[in-house]
Structure 1
């Protein structure tokens, strides 16, 4: 039983019993690339594309349903339905026989496990001097329980316990760290074994800031200002750490009716745990202000750096854009749209790596839905926002294209003396913008794909999402794995002693803005 492929009159290859042909046509709606000719009598089985996708949909719904039942009585049940669907898609089944170590104490955390079948023993130490004879059974976990999350929530953290298959067969749903970070991020501690194991662990607890008080913080210098207040560099002597404290006036927030936006900014930041996004550690409030205690990045903003250097080399721009792409991928997996991507909101940490900040315009937009809020910075606003046609995640990709152009050339492709003129330039489109001859051809193509007028055909908005940006020719030799692991050496590493002089202000005890009025309406009770 043999068939031949024939393409343009030539015999390309022969297939025989048991082989498969035509799978590309099922996966993707594409034309046949070859002709299949029977040279002997044959019997074939065939599967229509519609039947394949229907069956695939049934299996997906079954996986989602199983996952929801598994985690129904756990903290994971509070995840958004769309997020649970993505977890079900990303997780893989792993099977273990009795006595197999699923996790070993001391290993760097790489995988999160949910038990689908069987039982798992969690063993570790009770805080006394560790030795094999002191190891205790901390918990016997069964179907629906999960483990391994704590070491994933602190980069480079090591497991503080062993997880051993206790029944004859154990089946777990496994989620790799990268997918865990994007989809889940942080889970409240449920198991007692975490507390026992942590007593002998050198790893900091996930939330060492819970008992931190505002009165403990010492103001070191002024870092900048925003619509509702100021940002200060502060220190906690007890923790031996520096932070950025965003202090916002409650009276101004209420006067401008922005309470919902401030609450949403806090809630979105609390969901995020990424190496490429500024972390929120905790919040405070008093009679006049609400506060966000943030990760501090003293390596300057990309705006001040570009202003000083005028433009960046192709390789350096690619590194910064790569960091931003990782941040956007993380956010979009959580259905978060930033809506204010610009140089001022990109900060460098002490390593020279870029982090995205300022989530004042960020919102959650579910797949297939749109919102009509007019927001953003004019030079970076996608045309569908200014036209108020309804927008979604695609607006972040438009801003990304604008940013790439700016990093390589030192100026925005859409800029003018007034906002109205800027919007007219965006309507004219990226094809009306002159590109300098010095700009890399593949970078030009990427910018044009990202700044596509039609948001439905904009790069990043197809079914592969951010993966299409990563796979673009401009990133051909870029090592995304090295970027995520912090193994790329940036061309520019901040000199923090010098860069700190860029921030005005002076050291002194913590003090409050005396012009702020007392505001006691209670909208901030959850801060």
Structure 2
């Protein structure tokens, strides 16, 4: 009888790579990639792994976004942000390994429970305030704050995620390009009058309102009507809301940028004395010692289970078959033609996307790195993004893959969440059932989904 060759041991002293992680299951899909839960084999620590196919990124002109997001995340580390820990690549994909948030995003929970209480929103608002103050102090604008990009950890604390369209900005300067998701854009972004970090506070106000009321504050029959409402329609506050809540919200949802509530490291403790937030202790807040009023179910993966088998059955290049695929020595004529067309682009990406391991970095920079990617370094076959004020920006056409014109813009539900089971590699570590067993929504919830 022939003997079965054993697998060679994994070299954990080498640069971090795909083999260092065990795939558990897919949990999400974003504008430029997919997300799965992984276990780092040597430390037995769980993370979320976002992977983006290089060829698809080139087709969607998203390479610039990927490099932009990575540079920004490398410069950040905060208790209320989804932090980057590793970045690497292989022949097919670019990988980000980040904090795992098992609680799901606020869109998911709002669609199942309806409007949130003021007590619940109060803590979320304060925690997101601390995250925004942190990134703004480092001259970064997020530009895409919405319930989908606010993730909850398993204890119920919220974290700001997805810096795909974030930008660095020089002090005292303005940006002019539209970027983000239209229902959450500040008026000054929509009318291209120039904006800075204050635009993020407007977006936070829109999120608060939407989650408190169960519907978006600006609802038009068409995209044009909605955009017009954002810039001029009166904002109606329910009489059932408390005066402190309305006062705080109206400070954020102020169209006049000079009058809008803008929170900085210099005034954040004073803002926390506002009647809406006054019950929160500052020290307990920053140390994550305040107890959330809602804690997600620890026996479930809190994401949509509708497309459980999508990647395994429909994905052209499923991640769990990567090893076999990369070991292929022959290519079809179609694959060869595609490689010849974009081969130079792929080579440049391979050279520029170096390995990142936060554990080997001495310190996190206090100031955000320059996030421009030089056109001579990384380009795509598609038309290049527009530029303004010397900063990399993105045109409306470029943003269309991140925000839709008529359907998703009005619906506000831009990213569908996917779940699948994926684990074939035996491992003695016992993992929570929710990480390796598919979750099935039995449809028992009777609450109305949030309306956007």
TM-score by length of 1: 0.56
Q: Aligned pair in 2 of structure 1 residues 484, 464: CA closer, same or farther (>3 Å)?
A: closer
Q: Aligned pair in 2 of structure 1 residues 211, 446: CA closer, same or farther (>3 Å)?
A: same
1:511 matched to 2:321? The reply is yes
Give yes or no for contact 1:361–1:376 (8 Å, CA) kept in 2: yes
Q: Which residue of 1 aligns with 2:295?
A: 493
Give yes or no for contact 1:482–1:488 (8 Å, CA) kept in 2: yes
How far residue 464 of structure 1 moved from its aligned partner, in angstroms, is 4.5
State the alpha-carbon separation in 1 of the partners of residues 216 and 38 from structure 2: 34
Q: Which residue of 2 aligns with 1:364?
A: 168
Give yes or no for contact 1:460–1:468 (8 Å, CA) kept in 2: no
1:526 matched to 2:353? The reply is yes
1:399 matched to 2:203? The reply is yes
Q: 1:373 aligns with which of 144, 154, 177?
A: 177
1:433 matched to 2:260? The reply is no
SS at match of 2:258: helix
Q: Which residue of 2 aligns with 1:341?
A: 145
1:254 matched to 2:58? The reply is yes
Q: Which residue of 2 aligns with 1:318?
A: 122
How far residue 522 of structure 1 moved from its aligned partner, in angstroms, is 1.1
Q: 2:275 aligns with which of 473, 478, 488?
A: 473
Q: Which residue of 2 aligns with 1:36?
A: none
State the alpha-carbon separation in 2 of the partners of residues 356 and 501 from structure 1: 17
State the alpha-carbon separation in 1 of the partners of residues 195 and 236 from structure 2: 27
How far residue 245 of structure 1 moved from its aligned partner, in angstroms, is 0.9
Bigger share in strand: 1
Q: 2:71 aligns with which of 262, 267, 277?
A: 267
Q: List per-residue Cα deviations over 1:173-222 (Å, max 9, x = no partner).
A: xxxxxxxxxxxxxxxxxxxxxxxxxxxxxxxxxxx998432123222111
Matches within 5 A, 1:417-456: 417-429=221-233, 432-456=234-258
Q: Which residue of 2 aligns with 1:14?
A: none
Q: Which residue of 2 aligns with 1:484?
A: 286
State the alpha-carbon separation in 1 of the partners of residues 93 and 64 from structure 2: 15
The alignment's C-alpha RMSD in Å is: 2.6
SS at match of 2:228: helix
SS at match of 2:82: coil
How far residue 505 of structure 1 moved from its aligned partner, in angstroms, is 3.8
1:300 matched to 2:104? The reply is yes
Q: Aligned pair in 2 of structure 1 residues 473, 339: CA closer, same or farther (>3 Å)?
A: same
Matches within 5 A, 1:48-197: none
Which sections of structure 1, spanning at least 5 residues, go unmatched?
1-207
Matches within 5 A, 1:203-282: 211-282=15-86
State the alpha-carbon separation in 2 of the partners of residues 466 and 343 from structure 1: 22
Number of aligned residue pairs: give it.
318
Q: List per-residue Cα deviations over 1:424-481 (Å, max 9, x = no partner).
A: 011114xx12211111111112111111112122111689454554332211222121
Q: Which residue of 1 aligns with 2:6?
A: none
How far residue 234 of structure 1 moved from its aligned partner, in angstroms, is 1.4
How far residue 523 of structure 1 moved from its aligned partner, in angstroms, is 3.0
State the alpha-carbon separation in 2 of the partners of residues 210 and 420 from structure 1: 53
SS at match of 1:521: helix
How far residue 386 of structure 1 moved from its aligned partner, in angstroms, is 0.8
State the alpha-carbon separation in 2 of the partners of residues 404 and 444 from structure 1: 11
SS at match of 1:324: helix
How far residue 286 of structure 1 moved from its aligned partner, in angstroms, is 1.8
Q: List per-residue Cα deviations over 1:67-88 (Å, max 9, x = no partner).
A: xxxxxxxxxxxxxxxxxxxxxx
Give yes or no for contact 2:51–2:93 (8 Å, CA) kept in 1: yes
SS at match of 2:28: strand
Q: List per-residue Cα deviations over 1:96-123 (Å, max 9, x = no partner).
A: xxxxxxxxxxxxxxxxxxxxxxxxxxxx
Give yes or no for contact 1:218–1:510 (8 Å, CA) kept in 2: no
1:387 matched to 2:191? The reply is yes
Higher Rg of the two aligned structures:
1
Q: Aligned pair in 2 of structure 1 residues 386, 509: CA closer, same or farther (>3 Å)?
A: closer
Which sections of structure 2, spanning at least 5 residues, go unmatched?
1-11, 313-317, 326-333, 355-452
SS at match of 2:301: helix
SS at match of 1:283: strand
